[in-house]
């Protein structure tokens, strides 16, 4: 970016821009080289003019949530990384004619686990699977995040996108999700931010919902290692099997390449045991994919996104 672009970008947002900012501090794997700029967008009204400016100037950009499903290259990324700030972290309950359900409008920057806990207090059921998933609602929509048989696609009423041109609301019937993916977003990739989501939740008894959430939280504590930085399940589970089981069967638990290691506790957790680079992670990933393909005939598709 040239000087004029620096000045314009700085003027478009209320928060100071972080220039040449390393992204390791924005990812749960603690890996990632610098972006030209990291921009926190606090105000809703800032987002569309910012996207219009980036489009006009042909500056590449990417919005991230909490970076809990991301591997960022060691050499970093060209352009701007956007992060949704305070005005994208609100939740508003809306009254409906239906006494069984409640619609909640949630900003895409809201943390999913925190939102699940709020719903527990409000007596709203359906998002309990999100207790313990450490990303934002925006990331969860893109990933169709889920656990223990629940997933985002089953509770989404609509998604609001912001683009350089304005806002667009996509209703449930037009949304096309599959396992850990909102397929339809590919058509918008690089041009739209998920800015808000409307969820339809069931009205329930706070105590029943609390009990259900605490069962899920305990299961998560037992199943998932958190001894080192990681990005959750690294690979998608193949149909009718588990990536962790296949990786374990190929003898990879505890295997390390540089600072990257397959967790000793969970075969599908690729962890940063200290000083790992993105290259270490990619080399380990390729080794795992090749050996599992030979041993089990299964190609393991990464769940993690690469930027």
Residues binding ligand FAD (CB under 6 A): 28, 62-70, 84, 108, 133-136, 138-140, 142-143, 145-147, 180, 193-194, 224, 230-232, 305
To the nearest whole angstrom, how small is the minimum distance from the Cβ of residue 68 to ligand FAD? Answer: 3
User: Do residues 101 and 157 make contact, with C-beta atoms less than 8 angstroms apart?
Assistant: no
User: Do residues 259 and 276 make contact, with C-beta atoms less than 8 angstroms apart?
Assistant: yes
Element (H, E) at 47: helix 44-56
DSSP designation for 300: P
To the nearest whole angstrom, how small is the minimum distance from the Cβ of residue 3 to ligand FAD? Answer: 28
C-alpha span between 85 and 67 (Å, rounded): 14
C-alpha span between 158 and 61 (Å, rounded): 24
Residue with Cβ nearer ligand FAD (73 or 305): 305
Name the residue with tokens 């993105």. 278
To the nearest whole angstrom, how small is the minimum distance from the Cβ of residue 295 to ligand FAD? Answer: 26
To the nearest whole angstrom, how small is the minimum distance from the Cβ of residue 71 to ligand FAD? Answer: 9
b/e string for 222-243 if b means 16 or more Cβ within 10 A? eebeeebbbbbbbbbbbeeeeb
Hey, which residues does 114 pair with through a beta bridge?
none
DSSP designation for 188: T
Residue with Cβ nearer ligand FAD (13 or 133): 133
C-alpha span between 205 and 208 (Å, rounded): 5
Query: Residue 221 has which token pair?
Result: 């504590």
To the nearest whole angstrom, how small is the minimum distance from the Cβ of residue 124 to ligand FAD? Answer: 19
Question: Measured between alpha carbons, how far apart are the two ends of the chain, in Å?
Answer: 19
C-alpha span between 261 and 270 (Å, rounded): 6
The residues carrying an active-site annotation are 180, 233, 303
């Amino acid at each position: 970016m040239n000087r004029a672009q620096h000045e314009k970008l700085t003027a478009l947002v209320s928060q100071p821009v972080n220039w040449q900012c390393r992204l390791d501090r924005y990812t749960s794997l603690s890996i990632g080289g610098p972006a030209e700029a990291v921009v926190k967008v606090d105000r809703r009204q800032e987002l569309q003019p910012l996207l219009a400016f980036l489009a006009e100037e042909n500056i590449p950009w990417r919005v991230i949530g909490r970076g809990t499903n991301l591997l960022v290259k060691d050499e970093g990324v060209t352009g701007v990384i956007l992060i949704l700030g305070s005005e994208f972290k609100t939740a508003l309950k809306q009254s409906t004619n239906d006494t069984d359900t409640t619609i909640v409008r949630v900003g895409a920057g809201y943390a999913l686990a925190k939102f699940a806990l709020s719903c527990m207090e409000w007596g709203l059921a359906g998002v309990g699977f999100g207790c313990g998933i450490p990303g934002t609602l925006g990331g969860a929509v893109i990933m169709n995040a889920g656990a223990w048989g629940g997933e985002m696609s089953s509770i989404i009423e609509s998604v609001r996108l912001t683009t350089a041109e304005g806002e667009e609301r996509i209703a449930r019937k037009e949304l096309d999700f599959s396992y850990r993916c909102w397929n339809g977003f590919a058509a918008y990739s690089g041009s739209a931010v998920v800015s808000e989501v409307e969820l339809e939740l069931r009205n329930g008894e706070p105590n029943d919902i609390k009990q259900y959430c605490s069962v899920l939280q305990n299961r998560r504590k037992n199943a998932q290692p958190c001894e080192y930085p990681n990005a959750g399940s690294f690979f998608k589970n193949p149909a009718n099997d588990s990536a962790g089981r296949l990786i374990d069967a190929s003898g990879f638990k505890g295997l390390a390449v540089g600072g990257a290691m397959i967790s000793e506790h969970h075969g599908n957790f690729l962890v940063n045991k200290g000083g790992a680079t993105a290259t270490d992670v990619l080399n380990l990933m390729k080794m795992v994919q090749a050996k599992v393909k030979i041993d089990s005939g299964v190609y393991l598709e990464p769940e993690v996104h690469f930027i």
